[in-house]
A = this chain, B = another copy of it.
């Protein structure tokens, strides 16, 4: 497989409904925040705590920026987010892993795929919202710190790479299911076939992310 050879898919064919799109995006950032905050609380060193606390702050800012977009549309954010909570909560628990390193890889893999996915899907939103959503998702404070923490740990701990490679692979299916539910929520279920090439791109980006850690995806 040479995933990087794939043509870039024009994703603006898919037209998500703004309100459920923003509601799910907001709630997912809150989940990333909760996972990052947990990684701060359980970090083995103060230096790790410090780096991860910045990533947690960025996820929280993204969450609040999506909340602000929902208010701008005149809807109550809590009501809009509520339907997405059960599946997203299960997803966060399922990707939390068995220890701090699995927690970190869980955030790295799932936020890497979903931020990318939501940014692509945003292309189909109405004019200005599309640009603002892409702006919100463009701020990335977590991937570098997560990569660096994981890279250092994998170098230092023999055997960790094998375990994390397995763990990373196991996260992809659930993450794609959350991505697919974003389309269903937007009443675009009938267009779901259009999204397959995008999933292929997300998996390709996942493979590159794992490769960068020396892990077989």
A-side residues, CB < 8 A to B, are 30, 33-34, 37-38, 40-41, 46-47, 49-50, 53-54, 56-57, 60-61, 63-64, 67, 77-78, 81-82, 85
Contact = CB atoms under 8 A, between A and B. Distances in A.
Contacts of A54: 64
B60 A64 contact: no
A213 B61 CA distance: 31
Q: Helix, strand, loop or mixed for chain A's interface?
A: helix
Q: How many copies make up the complex?
A: 2
A82 B45 CA distance: 10
Contacts of A61: 57
A175 to B, nearest CB: 20
Contacts of A78: 46-47, 50
Contact of A53 (B33, B49, B85): B33
Nearest to A40: B34
7 contacts: A33-B37, A34-B41, A37-B40, A38-B41, A46-B85, A53-B64, A57-B61
Contacts of A40: 30, 33-34, 37
4 closest cross-chain pairs (CB), A and B = A37-B37, A46-B78, A34-B41, A57-B60
A188 B94 CA distance: 50
A60 B57 CA distance: 7
Contacts of A53: 30, 33, 60, 63-64
A13 B61 CA distance: 39
Contacts of A77: 50
